Structure 1
Amino acid sequence: MASIGTPLLWTLFTVFVLIALAIDFIALNRQGSHAVSMREATIWSLIWVAVSFLFVGWMWWYLGGTGADPVSRNLANAKALEFITGYLVEKALAVDNIFVFLMIFTYFAVPAPFQKRALMIGILSALVLRAVMILVGAWLIVRFHWLMYVFGVFLVFTGFKMWRAAGQEPDLGNNPALRWINKRFKISAEYDGEKFFTWANGIKMATPLLVVIVLIGIVDVVFAVDSIPAIFAITTDPFIVLTSNVFAILGLRAMYFLLAGVHERFHLLSYGLAVILVFIGAKMLLIDIYKIPVAWSLGFTVSALAAAMALSLKIPAKQGQARSAFPFRPKREDKSGTKE
């Protein structure tokens, strides 16, 4: 499979990501546990977007985007466009992740100060798992070209399924992963700071925070099954697939806090994402008949998202049903100091 990923590019990309994560971890530790404000979420979201475009700008320059050689310049332009399109598609599909994360935090009554670290750990594990899935997927596509058609059918099916499920409240209580955890592990009824394990009546138990982190990792892997085939429809270059995925996920935590407070205003986004998945699936199915230009994919993705957001602001959302009670919901103190 043709790729621009030289040993130097892979090394610089890895160093770039490690430095970005180190800075994020240092900031997280200095700030400690605290509720993330809209201002902080906006700043960090802009920082991660800037970091992503700084990387693609450097990659464009490295490939000869400013040179006199037309071949190198065309290659640089094509790869930069592939990265931006893949990044935007992954970022858009991550919106669904965010809504599910919000549901998990609400269901488990996760205190606001603990949410930031829980997302950080969950996203780090997701980065490793996605990297493995992408490299394996790239190898499979090289060996078995017909898998592109399988991915295409899967994306079209997923898009229609997402359209039908849009607006419906997910039932986390019947989630197979949560049922499996409840049957096999003892879970405490209360949080113990940011600890993953605690002692209750002489018995070591997992805290609800550990369950939340495990579910975040599982949710991201499930969504990756949709999003990774989607980016292979844009480019089959493993370097572009992995880098655009990683940079989209790195900013997921900040984007969560940015959208968590306004998610109800964009209640039609799932319909827009469903349309994007069907489009990308169709692009995969047509790959040997007609290759839809990457610029068209970028334009369609932006248009679908913009339309969904505009219609969300214009059409009022339907009143949803109340969420189910969490069986291990931590007790809270009322103003008098007694527990509920």
Structure 2
Amino acid sequence: MISIGTPLLWSLFAAFVVIALTIDFFSLSRQGAHVVGLREAAIWSISWVAMSFAFVAGLWWFLGGTSHDPNLREFAADKALEFITGYLVEKALAVDNIFVFLMIFTYFAVPAAFQKRVLMIGILGALVLRAVMILIGAWMIARFHWIMYVFGALLMFTGVKMWRAAGHEPDIGSNPALRWINRHMSISPGYDGEKFFTVINGTRMATPLLVVILLIGFVDMVFAVDSIPAIFAITTDPFIVLTSNVLAILGLRAMYFLLAGMHERFHLLSFGLAIVLVFIGAKMLLVDFYKIPIAWSLSFTVTTLAVAMLLSLWVPVKPGRARTAFPFDPKQEAKQDEGSMGKK
């Protein structure tokens, strides 16, 4: 598979990510557990987006964006557009991911001061998972071209499923991963600071915070199954795929705190994301018959998401049950599991 990724570019990007994570970890350890305010979240979000666009600007320059050779300039522009399109698609899908995180935090009544650390660990897990899945996906596409059609069909199916599910809150209590955890782990009834394990009456038990970490990892794995094919529909260059994915994920924690209080405002965003996924899936299915220009893909993605967000501000939310935050009671969950098993 052809890629612009030279040893130098891979090394520079790896150093960039390590430095960024080091700064983030240092900030996390220095501040300790605290509630992230809107101003702090906005500053970090803008910083991550600025770093991402600084990266693509540097990549454009490195590939010959300022060269006198028109072929080099066109090549650099195409790769920059591929990165920006992939980055925006992954960022938009991450917004939907964030709303699920919010449901998990609400369900387990996670204190706001603990959410920052949970998200940081979840993001590290997501980075490793995405890197592995991207490498596997690149290998599969290089060996089996027909897998592109499978990815395209998967994206269209996911888009239709997302459209039908839009407006309905996920039922966290019936999540199979949560059911499995309840049956195989002893969970304490409350939190013990930011600890993942605690001892109650001489018994070592997992705290709800560990359950939240595991659930977030499971949710990200499910979302990765949708988002990885989406980026491969835009470009098959492993370097562009990995860098756009990683940079979109790095700003996920700050974006969560920025959007956590705005989820109701963008209630129509899932419909826009569904349309984008169907479009990208169709693009992948047509790859051998007609290659949709990357500039068209970028324009369609930006326009669709912008319209969905603007309509969200204009169209009121349909009246329904209000969301309520309630503490997680593992004993009650276990009783429900036992009852359902007894009926069977």
State the SS of the aligned residue for 1:198: strand
Q: Compared with structure 1, are the counterparts of its residues 329 and 257 closer, same or farther at alpha carbon in structure 2 (3 Å cutoff)?
A: farther
Matched AA of 2:193: G
Q: Which residue is 2:264 aligned to?
A: 264
Deviation at 1:326, TM superposition (A): 4.8
Distance 1:319 1:210 in 2: 34
Q: Which residue is 1:113 aligned to?
A: 113
Identical-residue share of aligned pairs (%): 75
Deviation at 1:57, TM superposition (A): 0.9
Deviation at 1:323, TM superposition (A): 5.2
Deviation at 1:328, TM superposition (A): 2.3
1:95 equivalent in alignment to 2:106: no
Distance 1:104 1:11 in 2: 36
CA contact (8 A) 2:109 2:328 kept: no
State the SS of the aligned residue for 2:309: helix
1:288 equivalent in alignment to 2:288: yes
Deviations 1:173-229 (A, max 9, x none): 000000000100001111111111000111000111111111111111110100110
Deviation at 1:5, TM superposition (A): 0.4
Deviation at 1:74, TM superposition (A): 1.6
1:154-303 pair list within 5 angstroms? 154-303=154-303
1:309-320 pair list within 5 angstroms? 309-320=309-320
Distance 1:329 1:122 in 2: 22
State the SS of the aligned residue for 2:264: helix
CA contact (8 A) 1:126 1:220 kept: yes
State the SS of the aligned residue for 2:265: helix
CA contact (8 A) 1:173 1:324 kept: no
Q: Which residue is 1:40 aligned to?
A: 40
1:328 equivalent in alignment to 2:329: yes
Matched AA of 1:328: D
Distance 1:54 1:62 in 2: 12
State the SS of the aligned residue for 1:259: helix
1:75-90 pair list within 5 angstroms? 75-90=75-90
Count of matched residue positions in the alignment of Structure 1 and Structure 2: 330
TM-score, normalised to structure 1, is 0.95
CA RMSD of aligned residues (A): 1.3
State the SS of the aligned residue for 2:41: helix
Deviation at 1:71, TM superposition (A): 2.4
Q: Compared with structure 1, are the counterparts of its residues 278 and 271 closer, same or farther at alpha carbon in structure 2 (3 Å cutoff)?
A: same
Deviation at 1:61, TM superposition (A): 1.0
CA contact (8 A) 1:190 1:329 kept: no
Q: Which residue is 2:66 aligned to?
A: 66
1:17-36 pair list within 5 angstroms? 17-36=17-36
Matched AA of 1:35: V
